[in-house]
Amino acid sequence: MNRRLEHKRALVTGGSRGIGAAIVKRLAGEGAHVALTYAGSRDQAEETVAAARTAGVTALAIQADSSDAGALVSAVEQTVRELGGIDILVNNAGIAVVAPVDDFKLEDFDRTLAVNVRAVFVATQAVVKHMQAGGRIINVGSCNAERMPFVGGSVYAMSKAALVGLVKGLARDLGPRGITINNVAPGPVNTDMNPAASDFARLTVERFMALPR
């Protein structure tokens, strides 16, 4: 693989599994030293770190729940200490609680915003104290920010739509420093949170995709 990220230092939140783990491995494969955060899946985090190290880079796992602002800031500081700086932040950590409005719990509403929106701001604010011109911040959003094809997804959609507004504002703050910030908005992805064989995945694919699978 092209080592175009040789000697870069990256942090991926929620990087132990799914999309986050794939990002960690891709960054490592292109030469970046990489740290990842995880909330509870230590074994998966260590497996992802081990896979990243096969690319000959430094990799480490840091336990930090993204809903805990203090833990997230500490993870950024540890990354900077152990990797010698930071050039790339991927705000990947996210949760999706799906329930009809009548049944949606307020604590789930608050946690969704804490992980999907506030954590992006917290991590970005912590990182830019150390990031130089040429730094890159990438947020994993969702196509659900614009399209919601199933019942019970209102709060998740709101959180991802909020991320769109947040990144547009942050881009104005960070652009003069030579730092870019962008959202990536995936559609349905086959992960352990959304396995392709599930009824839910079939429903979302059918409603999102114009072409047959």
Does residue 64 sit within a domain? Answer: yes
Q: How many CB atoms lie within 10 A of CB 168?
A: 11
Look up the CATH number of the domain holding residue 149: 3.40.50.720
Half-sphere exposure of 178 (CA within 13 A, CB side): 6
Q: What is the pTM of this model?
A: 0.86
Does residue 4 sit within a domain? Answer: no
| Residue 92, SS3 per DSSP | coil
Q: How many CB atoms lie within 10 A of CB 207?
A: 12
For the stretch 101-127, pLDDT in tens is: 999 999 999 999 999 999 999 999 999
For the stretch 152-207, pLDDT in tens is: 899 999 999 999 999 999 999 999 999 999 999 766 554 565 554 555 555 555 55
Q: Provide the number of structural domains found in the chain.
A: 1
Does residue 123 sit within a domain? Answer: yes
For the stretch 47-95, pLDDT in tens is: 999 999 999 999 999 999 999 999 999 999 999 999 999 999 999 999 9
Strand residue runs (E) in 74-186: 88-91, 136-140, 180-184
Among residues 28, 86, 117, 156, the one annotated as catalytic is 156
Host H or E run for residue 36? strand 33-38
Is 156 an annotated catalytic residue? yes
Does residue 1 sit within a domain? Answer: no
For the stretch 127-158, pLDDT in tens is: 999 999 999 999 998 888 677 778 889 999 99
pLDDT given at position 95: 92
